[in-house]
Structure 1
């Protein structure tokens, strides 16, 4: 039981900036096992966002959407955005594979990385704005919005688990992704079972469609990364999370719940 608790703490400390004042050992055993709890991290992020909306709502959807997006980014410390920018810089360079990987390891951010972050953030903001406006108009309910905020970040982190377990890692032992080498299919199965929670909470074809759209996006992104790079790195894991989250929010605007 202690090992599972340590793995849960590792998941939150690794993926968020929530103040958890516990010192744990970051060895491969705990980090690999922590992937099982990635959807739980997504659920907690979604719950915090909904609570923030309840407490801080100004009645102005554009402002509330911006505040939610700010809180969302602060909760993760920009970890996944950093991976997105590095991945965009590498893939956007259209260089040979080894040079793309070298660019991704460079701490400096280029034009492609800035553009990728800009468009991801603006789509997220516009999607949240639209959803909050619909909440104010009564076309969606508060419980439905809660379900959406729980589902989108949980599924994006579940996609990371699938990528970690099922696809080759090429970042080397020095990369953070090297700590996940002991993750196996059992952890993926557990993470996928956890993703049934929002469907149980709000059973509808809309929620199933939303998860399906996010899962398809994850498969397409991973396939593209592997085709261009020959495998995945820690940066591509972060990029995957951001892209699947963004498409999830965008899909939530267009899918009828």
Structure 2
């Protein structure tokens, strides 16, 4: 848990020993970090409502996570948007520059998140952040290789038995029942839709890049978070 908090938040917590086993446990526990972040965002919404609250939450989460997932989203968008073999896409992702695809992806995702957060029940916000971190374990499930021989992807790829992401998403479908008041189906549907989008995304990533990277994990997190928020906002 220390490593998960160290990786995924700005909390001044030492990571301790970092090896493949510890990294695997951190990925499995990442949804609990999402719960803490979601509760912090929900607390902010008690003082700021509507679109203002939505944008404040988006900004707070960017600060609280060092913008790490947003950076992954931007790099992944640029990598997937370029022509050429996987080596070319991976080089673009590692370059660190911000291209047109990254800019559009950030504008659309952050805009959708801000608007949706401003119009949903706080429970949907918490749910979205937990689902986003549960996406890590699906990206790192057994059988999915790393796209590079080094980096975060190589450390955590194929570390999660399939029952870990399956268990998280199964639990979250039932936990999501009360997050859209008056429409008990909306929360579970949002989790299911996010899971389907995540499966399609990782299928394309594996076909396009050959495996996962740290950037892919960040992109998957932001993508699933956004899907949950948008579905709950549309239902509400």
Same fold (TM over 0.5): yes
Indicate whether 1:238 and 2:218 are aligned.
yes
**For 1:195, what is the secondary structure of its paired residue?**
helix
Indicate whether 1:228 and 2:208 are aligned.
yes
CA distance in 2, matches of 1:23, 1:101: 27
| Aligned-pair CA distance for 1:62 | 2.2
CA distance in 2, matches of 1:247, 1:193: 17
Aligned with 2:122 (options 132, 146, 150) = 146
CA distance in 2, matches of 1:87, 1:39: 22
Structure 1: which 5+ residue stretches go unaligned?
1-7, 132-144
Structure 2: which 5+ residue stretches go unaligned?
none
Contact 2:146 2:157 in 1 (8 A): no
| Aligned-pair CA distance for 1:176 | 1.0
What is the match of residue 192 of structure 2? 212
TM-score (norm 2): 0.88
Q: Deviations over 1:2-54 (max 9, x none)?
A: xxxxxx1111111111233x451122121111122111111111101111222
After superposition, the Cα gap between the structure-2 partners of 1:199 and 1:106, relative to the gap in structure 1 and judged at 3 Å, is same
What is the match of residue 175 of structure 2? 198
After superposition, the Cα gap between the structure-2 partners of 1:193 and 1:24, relative to the gap in structure 1 and judged at 3 Å, is farther
Contact 2:73 2:218 in 1 (8 A): yes
CA distance in 2, matches of 1:71, 1:92: 29
CA distance in 1, matches of 2:108, 2:173: 30
CA distance in 2, matches of 1:215, 1:169: 20
CA distance in 2, matches of 1:227, 1:80: 22
Indicate whether 1:45 and 2:37 are aligned.
yes
| Aligned-pair CA distance for 1:130 | 2.9
Aligned with 2:228 (options 239, 245, 248) = 248
Q: Which is greater in Rg?
A: 1
What is the match of residue 90 of structure 2? 101
Cα RMSD of the aligned pairs, angstroms, is 2.2
TM-score (norm 1): 0.82
